[in-house]
């Protein structure tokens, strides 16, 4: 390519909006863009801290500043990618209200940014942006069939099949975190019962542990030494570490977490036959403490052929995935 291909990526979240400028200067053998490098990035306060009337103008200004600071004229910008928490109306380019961003309802983010930058704006939910980032930059690079599970506050998911992002009729496909693992399970934040996220979302797991400990003054989780009786200190890391150290009740909680994660991954394997399942935050911090028991449980939930075809790995992108997700959305061509 004679001219560099500049793109801006936006990752809209509750605590921050990450804005990233990237440049691509070559094509692969299929004529698709190969990401070359991230030039610079900025962050502004996110959607739980301010409404769209304040944040959207800041997003425009921050994007323009990134271009100016790095010697890129707006006329040289080729595309903008936006990823945001669902639910979204991808067809109309609008963000709908989400639990952590109650002021952001029917925000026409695509129209706002297209009118400002005068380039195409591509729009996906944050988990789809994340799987595209893994596909273009990260652990799933070179794979044609991949599943990404965020494994953070909740269980978001993105799916690539035969090199194509799975979006469905209205852009809502791939919500693996809300597959029902147990109809008698705990209530999920989405309102249903027994969702994958209700068992393996970090917030749900911690909330359930704290509620159990508060309901019984003799509950064994209270005896985890590191919390020193402070139930508010119960979290995924504390329970995991106590389980590894041999605390019997913590072992039960961590064992269920790993078993349910294997169940959710097994459903993904049996549905999509991926080459790789990439796991986010909790797996990044836990590594084999999580992956080993998950692999041991997987034969309960997926055929040998599916398991043999599929790697299970933590993301190598780590905290960079938010910045890269918007860029990946901008670069992806379906």
Of 206, 176, 204, the residue nearest 86 (C-alpha): 176
pTM, entire model: 0.90
Residues written for the chain: 334
Residue 314 and residue 268: Cα distance in Å, rounded?
16
What domains are there in the chain, each with its CATH number? 5-138+320-331 (3.30.420.40), 146-315 (3.30.420.40)
The mean of the pLDDT values for the chain is 92
pLDDT tens digits, residue range 175-187?
A: 999 999 999 999 9
> What integer is the mean pLDDT of 281-287?
96
Residue 332 and residue 164: Cα distance in Å, rounded?
9
Q: What is the CA radius of gyration of the chain?
A: 21
> What integer is the mean pLDDT of 20-43?
72
* Token pair in block for residue 66: 């990134």
Residue 117 and residue 120: Cα distance in Å, rounded?
8
According to DSSP, the residues that pair with 152 across neighbouring strands are: none
pLDDT band at 1 (very low <50, low <70, confident <90, very high): very low
> What integer is the mean pLDDT of 19-45?
74
CA 179 to chain centroid: 16
Q: Is the dihedral of CA 133, 138, 139, 141 positive or negative?
A: positive
Q: Is the dihedral of CA 46, 333, 27, 144 positive or negative?
A: positive
Q: Is the pLDDT of residue 38 over 90?
A: no
Q: Is the pLDDT of residue 2 over 80?
A: no
Residue 87 and residue 97: Cα distance in Å, rounded?
7
pLDDT band at 35 (very low <50, low <70, confident <90, very high): low
């Amino acid at each position: 390519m004679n001219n560099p291909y500049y793109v801006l990526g936006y990752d809209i979240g509750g605590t921050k909006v990450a804005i990233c400028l990237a440049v691509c200067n070559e094509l692969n053998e299929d004529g698709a863009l190969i990401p070359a490098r991230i030039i610079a990035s900025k962050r502004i306060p996110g959607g739980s801290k301010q409404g769209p009337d304040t944040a959207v103008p800041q997003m425009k200004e921050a994007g323009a500043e990134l271009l100016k600071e790095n010697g890129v004229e707006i006329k040289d910008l080729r595309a903008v990618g936006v990823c945001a928490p669902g639910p979204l109306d991808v067809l109309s380019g609008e963000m709908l209200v989400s639990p952590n961003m109650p002021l952001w309802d029917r925000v026409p983010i695509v129209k706002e940014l297209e009118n400002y930058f005068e380039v195409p704006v591509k729009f996906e939910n944050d988990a789809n942006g994340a799987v595209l980032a893994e596909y273009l930059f990260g652990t799933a690079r070179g794979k044609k069939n991949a599943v990404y599970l965020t494994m953070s506050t909740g269980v978001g998911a993105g799916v690539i099949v035969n090199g194509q992002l799975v979006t469905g009729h209205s852009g809502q496909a791939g919500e693996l975190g809300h597959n029902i693992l147990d109809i008698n399970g705990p209530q999920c934040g989405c309102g249903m019962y027994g969702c994958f996220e209700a068992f393996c979302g970090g917030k749900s797991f911690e909330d359930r542990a704290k509620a159990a400990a508060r309901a019984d003054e003799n509950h064994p989780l209270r005896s985890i030494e590191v919390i020193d009786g402070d139930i508010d200190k119960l979290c995924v890391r504390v329970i995991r570490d106590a389980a590894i150290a041999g605390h019997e009740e913590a072992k039960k909680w961590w064992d269920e977490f790993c078993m349910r994660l294997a169940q959710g991954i097994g459903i993904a394997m049996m549905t999509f036959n991926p080459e790789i399942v990439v796991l986010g935050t909790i797996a990044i911090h836990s590594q084999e403490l999580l992956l080993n028991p998950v692999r041991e449980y997987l034969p309960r939930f997926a055929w040998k052929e599916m398991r043999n075809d599929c790697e299970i790995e933590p993301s190598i992108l780590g905290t960079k995935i938010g910045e890269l997700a918007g860029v990946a959305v901008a670069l992806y061509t379906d």
